[in-house]
Chain A
Amino acid sequence: MQLTNRSKQVSNKEMTFMERAYLPAIATGLAITIKHFFTKKVTIEYPEVKRYLGPVFRGRHILKRDADGKERCTACGLCAVACPAEAISMVAAERETGEENLYREEKYAAVYEVNMLRCIFCGLCEEACPKQAVYLRHDEFIPVFTERDQVIWGKDLLVEDMSNRYTREAWTKEEALALDMKRASGEVTNVVPRAIP
């Protein structure tokens, strides 16, 4: 069965003088390597240059707020139940009067912690959340931690900043593909790939 046109019949034929002389072959080889010497390198120099990983990349977590800036999370615990790595823990609290502008519903997460050493970034919390509160950002990584207290991320790091809201154009692989097609055809140009800090 022939798979490609590149296959060569093996033969035991005597080498010609040019082949036996070896030097012409070396010259050919040297020409190939020097060509590679001058080609543009494909390396992306990582910490300085970052590559856009696509709209469905699962990076660090974010606790979303709604359009009025109220926290969406109601501390139902479904994300913690869904989490296969048991990375999420929370403490629920009841909303007091006067806090309506902070929390969307009567119950909220007073403490919401993700252990970033346990988290496997599977995105099941995202899927489990009935309030569309927890998401894995597509544009930010967890930075490298050097200290113990950097490992467990609390609400101070997780809750969305209203002056720098997180948006994502595509939510599924299919949508991402469609978006990519639209972008390739020039239909959509508003998507600016963000750098990953």
Chain B
Amino acid sequence: MDLTEFLIKTATIFVVFVLTLVIAMYSTWGERKVAGFIQDRMGPNRAGWGGLLQPLADAGKMFFKEDFIPALANKWLFIAGPSLAMLTALLASAVIPFGSTFKINNHEVVLQGVESNIGILYVFGVVALGVYGIMVGGWASNNKFSLLGAIRAASQNISYEVAMGLSLIAILMMSSSLSLGEIVSQQHGGNWNIFYQPLGFIIFITCSFAECNRVPFDLPECETELVGGYHTEYGSMKLGFYLFAEYINMFISSAIISVLYFGGYNYPGMDWVYSQLTQALGGITGHNIATLIGTGVFFGKAIFFIFFYMWVRWTIPRFRYDQLMNLGWKKLIPLAIFNIIITGAAVLFLKPMITAWLN
């Protein structure tokens, strides 16, 4: 790896990092705006145009609040909790393919932090680590409510990770690759996985709601039972980090959903646009602009799913704990296994039949 390549990679990672943070930041604004609109209110509209400076004001407020650590808390772990949550949330964005390639002087740069052949496995590993942030924070607080909230979060994440992984296996059986870039390029030309895996998609999106601790699965921070859940004792920017990590997770899972099921940066009529642009603007510029359009489409999809998260949040009430566990273990896991069997049968029998019939 020579120096230019290293610099380009660094720049890509930095851009991905900043983009993730900015999108997460504006999701907080979006959440309040969507909440307001759904409840027939205006939402924040005082700070800046349409309240666009609200995230900055919130962050400023968070920073200037007293950074309090309870006397009997484990100080080191108390600080490590939100840091871990933030770290694991940010790590996952590294392998997401934001677009196809970018051409700079014969260098072809992939718009992806790390081109990894085990991309989706990496995401799963990092997301599974996310529970440490919550667990460590909840335990270090030395507070029963925090601990209960953390335990709930841990058990919920573990339960739903099983169904999530199983629903993903169906995708992997079709793509026979763990690389996210590969999975996206296989969906080129309208072959979006959602058309082949509707059941898998429903299971996956339900599980990602649970993984992000979003309504209707936000039991870890259930105010009516647990005061504030795992972040009861937190204040100032440490609380801010926990909340922020949730929004980053939301963006990551939205991006993963659009990569896995909605073709990532692919969109209908992509090849036509590409040929028109390369003809009109030449090989390099046309290619780059086509890539940018694809990236825009990708972010559009991701933002739609963030919106969907918020939309669901202001529609559905929270599950009870036993309902949550019943849904996870007794409904989603059998359904996911059923989905695997169906997919296996389709890949083995239906696909050769259809290809034979088409030829």
Contacts and interface: CB of A to CB of B under 8 A. Distances in A.
A37 to B, nearest CB: 5
B312 A30 contact: yes
A41 B37 contact: yes
A34 interface: yes
A36 B40 contact: yes
Interface string B307-351: 000011011100000000000000000000000000000000000
A39 interface: yes
A142 B121 CA distance: 65
21 contacts: A23-B202, A26-B312, A26-B315, A26-B316, A29-B315, A29-B316, A30-B311, A30-B312, A32-B315, A33-B38, A34-B38, A34-B311, A36-B37, A36-B40, A37-B37, A38-B37, A41-B40, A41-B41, A41-B42, A45-B42, A45-B45
A42 interface: yes
Contacts of B202: 23
B34 interface: yes
A31 to B, nearest CB: 9
B316 A37 contact: no
B39 interface: yes
A190 interface: no
Interface string A1-43: 0000000000000000000000100100110111011110111
A23 B327 CA distance: 13
Nearest to A47: B46
Interface of A: 23, 26, 29-30, 32-34, 36-39, 41-43, 45
Given A33-B38, A34-B38, A37-B311, 8 more contacts: A30-B311, A30-B312, A37-B37, A37-B38, A41-B40, A42-B40, A43-B42, A45-B45
The contact size tier of chain B is 10 to 19
Contacts of A41: 37, 40-42
A41 B43 CA distance: 10
A43 B316 contact: no
A38 B40 CA distance: 9
The interface residues of chain B, by DSSP majority, are classed as: loop
B44 to A, nearest CB: 12
The interface residues of chain A, by DSSP majority, are classed as: helix
Contacts of A34: 38, 311
B41 A43 contact: yes
Contacts of A26: 312, 315-316
Contact of A37 (B34, B42, B312): B34
Nearest to A28: B315
A37 B311 CA distance: 9
A137 B326 CA distance: 64
Contacts of A32: 315
A108 to B, nearest CB: 46
Contacts of A36: 37-40
B40 A39 contact: yes
Contacts of B40: 36, 39, 41-42
Contacts of B39: 36
Contacts of A23: 202
Contacts of B34: 37
B315 A33 contact: yes
A30 B312 CA distance: 7
Contacts of B311: 30, 33-34, 37
Interface string B295-315: 000000000000000011011
A42 B42 CA distance: 9
A38 B38 CA distance: 8
A41 B36 CA distance: 9
Nearest to A30: B315
A36 B314 CA distance: 11
A41 to B, nearest CB: 6
Nearest to B314: A33
A47 to B, nearest CB: 10
A42 B45 CA distance: 15
Contacts of B42: 41, 43, 45
Interface in B44-102: 45
8 residue pairs, one from A and one from B, having the closest CB atoms: A29-B315, A33-B315, A37-B37, A43-B42, A33-B38, A37-B38, A36-B38, A30-B315
A33 B38 CA distance: 6
A170 to B, nearest CB: 32
Nearest to B202: A23
Contacts of A37: 34, 37-38, 311
Contacts of B41: 41, 43
B178 to A, nearest CB: 29
A43 B46 CA distance: 14
A23 B315 CA distance: 13
Interface in B9-42: 34, 37-42
Contacts of B38: 33-34, 36-37
